[in-house]
Amino acid sequence: MSRARFRFYAELNDFLPPERRFLEFTHEFRGGPSVKDVIESLGVPHTEVDLVLADGESVDFAWILRDGARVSVYPVFESIDVAPLARVRPAPLREVRFVLDVHLGRLARYLRMLGFDARWRNDAGDEEIARAAATEHRIVLTRDAGLLKRRIVTHGYLVREADPRRQLAEVVRRLDLVRGIAPFRRCLCCNALLEDVRKEDVLDHLPPRVRERHERFRRCPSCGRVYWAGTHHRRMEQVIEELLASERPAGG
């Protein structure tokens, strides 16, 4: 039986049992597994890992674990320059698009509210989600770490928070989405981009009080829903303002 020493850093410890968090521990193994396979067998999805050091040297996921090795595993660095090292995460996607698991429907609506392409269905299985991530170049957002361990998933994030509003703040902060926010341009129900529409073209779909008070409307070309700046719109504006305020630097 061979042995290696592992230590995981920062939020990667969320995936470990309490007795292994923030400590170096011994892992026993047989044969010559890749470091990626061992990391995931310990509970950490590969999509959460940015850098692996083996005996102080940067290695990729294909590196074969050897007896006596000391392995350090790091998440995404936000303030430390690791450019000279071989990061194991794929390059960021050119366009930020998401696919969410069945438990994150409210989060999907919030992301659409901010203008992000967020694919979600309440009956989508893990295989469908993983396939969409691979073929449509989407980032998987999930509460299931097992989904992120699928080989074809290259970009993903395990959502820690349970409350949808807190989930939104967590994802925006963790994935640095503030600069990409373009609110109220997507249908909250089906994700399609909204189109400006003349009032006279949607009169039959408007309640009487809306006809009297509003002049500007947008319509979803997919499901036909009509949007205007009513009470619900103002509540969403408040959500966005609170989110942005929480992301501003102190004193900014």
Q: Which amino acid is at 93?
A: L
Token digits of residue 64: 């074969």
Q: Is residue 79 a part of any domain in this protein? A: no
Q: Is residue 91 a part of any domain in this protein? A: no
pLDDT digits (tens, 9 = 90+) for 78-89: 444 444 555 676
Residues 41 and 160 in one domain: no
Q: How much is the pLDDT for 88?
A: 73
* Number of compact structural domains in the chain: 3
Q: Is residue 22 a part of any domain in this protein? A: yes
pLDDT digits (tens, 9 = 90+) for 212-228: 889 999 999 999 999 99
Residues 55 and 15 in one domain: yes
Domain boundaries, position 47: 2-74
State the average pLDDT over residues 20-37.
97
Q: Is residue 87 a part of any domain in this protein? A: no
pLDDT digits (tens, 9 = 90+) for 147-197: 999 999 999 999 999 999 999 999 999 888 888 899 999 999 999 999 999
* Alpha carbon distance 53, 46 (integer Å): 14
pTM above 0.95, yes or no: no
* Alpha carbon distance 139, 121 (integer Å): 15
Token digits of residue 132: 């969409």
Contact 59, 52 (CB under 8 A): yes
State the average pLDDT over residues 10-28.
96
Containing 53, the helix (H) or strand (E) segment is strand 51-54
Token digits of residue 4: 């290696």
Residues 243 and 160 in one domain: yes
State the average pLDDT over residues 199-223.
92
